[in-house]
Amino acid sequence: MVSATASGARAAARCIELSRAPYSDRPDRLFRGWLTPAYRATIERVGAWMEDAGMTVRRDAAINLIGRYEGATPAAPALVIGSHLDSVRDGGAYDGPLGVMLGIECVAALHAEGRRLPFAIEVIGFGDEEGSRFPAAMLGSRAVAGTLAPQAADMADAEGVSVDAALRDFGSDAASLASAARMPGTMLAYLEAHIEQGPVLEAEGLALGTVTGIAAQLRLEATVTGVAGHAGTVTMPLRRDALAAAARMVAAVEDIAVAAASDLVATVGRIEVAPGAANVIAGDVRFTVDIRAGATDRRDRAAAAIRAAMDGIAAERGVVLDVATIHDLPPCPCDPRLMDLLDAAIVATGQPSRRLMSGAGHDAMAMVALGPVAMLFVRCAGGISHHPAEHVDPADADAAFAAMCGFIDRLGEQVRDA
Ligand code: HGY
Ligand code: MN
Ligand code: MN
């Protein structure tokens, strides 16, 4: 039975509810893509929870879900609390929704006490952060930040459905996306609570951490074009095997990242082969390359080395290589003043403060275009994420709820004293 009063445990329980039908587009495991039937059911359910918490609720042109709890000073810039409602394929229950549910709990607590801050609080459930339906990521928060490139609307999903058609299914369209951009100067600060998706907090026996910044992220899509042929008749010297070439390129990505011996990581997460038959030499291969590091120069040096290696392999094997940049996100520093507030709020819950970097990308990377950002990390079991085994202890969710309420109160005091 989910508690009737605001708590972190209720936020965690709601994440579990949202991990099941009808809030998943797959019957057996969690997948919730942006603008899918499961997404529609989810924003209806979460919108009702926002209303119960005393918020007015709207959907912007990107079909992000936005709840607003008015402050004592109507026109003051708002505190925005957000995270994403979409998931990866075979994802976990908490990556994204936990930050939205905790934001709703913080407002529900204020509403129950009839309290108003000197600023409004807006809780945003972003529709696309993972990029699990369309090729690019963070389309929801980038639409709010006003940093979404117009051509983003030209993308199509694996079934050939365009962003425009998917938006029309929700009463919006690609031409309206620009209207989702938030007016500059209307955001006081952005706070995102998110599972750590890594092992550090658990290893140190801590429930919470203050994020210092988010790694720079470059995502590429490589297309290798060779010559398809009969697997039984084309002799080895005559082949221009796109998959054999791509395999060497994938190995080069890993070799270069390992050799960097730094915080650099590089991943080939998706590969598609055509025509994909056992008795046909592959003619076309398409794969993604995700490269991240705490500093842009380290990331870009590795990207240049990876590109050079891929070009060399393509030339040696007589295949054609084309590389497109899907997204290029600079590192996102969290705001020192907000980090101090978050540290103080965490210490007030009874645990020491702990600062750490985020290798995972988050909507805060987009929202930093609108103002200062802060992120609260919450311990997750085994650091496991992007997997059904993702788990958050309700007691840790309660600690996160307490820390977020403490952060909001401290920010309110700072604004009043300013
Ligand atoms: O890719 C990421 O780091 C995030 O989980 N979308
Ligand atoms: Mn994720
Ligand atoms: Mn996430």
Same domain, 173 and 226: no
Say if residues 97 and 81 touch (Cβ distance below 8 Å): no
Say if residues 285 and 270 touch (Cβ distance below 8 Å): no
Instruction: List C-alpha distances in Å: 26 to 42, 51, 160, 169, 190.
Output: 14, 28, 19, 19, 32
Same domain, 45 and 178: yes
Same domain, 168 and 222: no
Instruction: Single out the residue of 343, 358, 360, 412 nearest to residue 91, CA to CA.
Output: 360
Closest CA to ligand 1's atom 1: 361
Single out the residue in 298, 329, 360 at which a domain terminates: 329
Burial tier of 256 (Cβ tally within 10 Å: 0-12, 13-18, 19+): buried
Residue 291 lies in a domain: yes
Mean pLDDT (the chain) is: 96
**φ, ψ for residue 195 (rounded to 5)?**
-65, 150
Ligand 1 pocket residue status of 366, Cβ below 6 Å: no
Segment 327-349 mean pLDDT: 96
Segment 382-403 mean pLDDT: 97
Those residues with Cβ within 8 angstroms of residue 11's Cβ, 6 or more apart along the chain or in another chain: 98, 101, 102, 104, 105, 397, 401
DSSP characters for 39-84? HHHHHHHHHHHHHHTT-EEEE-TT--EEEEE--SSTTSPEEEEEEE
- What one-character DSSP code corresponds to residue 220? E
Residue 377 lies in a domain: yes
The residue with tokens 């403490």 is 406
For residue 80, what pLDDT is reported? 98
User: Among the atoms of ligand 1, which is closest to the Cα of residue 131?
Assistant: 6
Residue 168 lies in a domain: yes
Pocket probe for ligand 1: among 362, 365, 387, the residue whose CB has the most ligand atoms within 8 Å is 362
DSSP characters for 179-192? GGSPPTT-EEEEEE
Segment 258-262 mean pLDDT: 94
Same domain, 224 and 204: no
Ligand 1 pocket residue status of 361, Cβ below 6 Å: yes
Give residue 368 CA to ligand 2 midpoint distance, Å: 18
How confident is the model over 343-355, as pLDDT tens digits? 999 999 999 999 9
Instruction: Single out the residue of 400, 362, 380 nearest to residue 82, CA to CA.
Output: 362
Identify residue 330 by its one-letter amino acid code. P
- Our count of domains for the chain comes to 2
The Cα 250–Cα 241 span in angstroms is 15
Give residue 228 CA to ligand 1 midpoint distance, Å: 34
Same domain, 266 and 191: no
CATH code, 228: 3.30.70.360
Segment 109-122 mean pLDDT: 97
- Please tell me whether residue 270 adopts helix, strand or coil conformation: coil
Domain that holds residue 24: 8-214+332-417
Residue 1 lies in a domain: no
Where residue 128 falls among pLDDT bands split at 50, 70, 90?
very high
Same domain, 65 and 137: yes
Same domain, 44 and 72: yes
When mean pLDDT is compared across 3-7, 298-302, 351-355, the lowest value belongs to 3-7
Same domain, 137 and 33: yes
Segment 13-30 mean pLDDT: 96
The Cα 44–Cα 38 span in angstroms is 10
How confident is the model over 228-257, as pLDDT tens digits? 999 999 999 999 999 999 999 999 999 999
Ligand 1 pocket residue status of 360, Cβ below 6 Å: yes
Ligand positioned closest to the Cα atom of 91: 2
For the chain, how big is the Rg over CA atoms in Å? 23
Single out the residue in 314, 329, 344 at which a domain terminates: 329
* Tokens linked to 249: 């390129």
Residue 3 lies in a domain: no
Same domain, 54 and 151: yes
Ligand positioned closest to the Cα atom of 126: 3
Give residue 195 CA to ligand 3 midpoint distance, Å: 8
How confident is the model over 186-236, as pLDDT tens digits? 999 999 999 999 999 999 999 999 999 999 999 999 999 999 999 999 999
Identify residue 348 by its one-letter amino acid code. A
- Please tell me whether residue 297 adopts helix, strand or coil conformation: helix
The Cα 173–Cα 285 span in angstroms is 32
Residue 203 lies in a domain: yes
Closest CA to ligand 1's atom 4: 361
Say if residues 384 and 92 touch (Cβ distance below 8 Å): yes
* Tokens linked to 190: 């952005």
Same domain, 68 and 156: yes
How confident is the model over 82-100, as pLDDT tens digits? 999 999 999 999 999 999 9
The Cα 333–Cα 147 span in angstroms is 17
In what helix (H) or strand (E) does residue 173 lie, and over which residues does it extend? none
Give residue 74 CA to ligand 3 midpoint distance, Å: 31
Say if residues 146 and 183 touch (Cβ distance below 8 Å): no
Pocket probe for ligand 1: among 129, 358, 380, the residue whose CB has the most ligand atoms within 8 Å is 129
- What one-character DSSP code corresponds to residue 294? S
Residue 35 lies in a domain: yes
Residue 302 lies in a domain: yes
Where residue 151 falls among pLDDT bands split at 50, 70, 90?
confident
Where residue 5 falls among pLDDT bands split at 50, 70, 90?
confident
For residue 365, pLDDT beyond 60: yes
CATH code, 89: 3.40.630.10
Q: Is the pTM of this model over 0.85?
A: yes
Segment 108-136 mean pLDDT: 97
Say if residues 162 and 348 touch (Cβ distance below 8 Å): no
Where residue 2 falls among pLDDT bands split at 50, 70, 90?
low
Give residue 195 CA to ligand 2 midpoint distance, Å: 9
The residue with tokens 């690019």 is 136
Say if residues 33 and 135 touch (Cβ distance below 8 Å): no
Ligand 1 pocket residue status of 96, Cβ below 6 Å: no
Same domain, 72 and 116: yes
Ligand 1 pocket residue status of 196, Cβ below 6 Å: no
Single out the residue in 329, 351, 368 at which a domain terminates: 329
Instruction: Single out the residue of 43, 21, 46 nearest to residue 34, CA to CA.
Output: 43
Same domain, 369 and 253: no
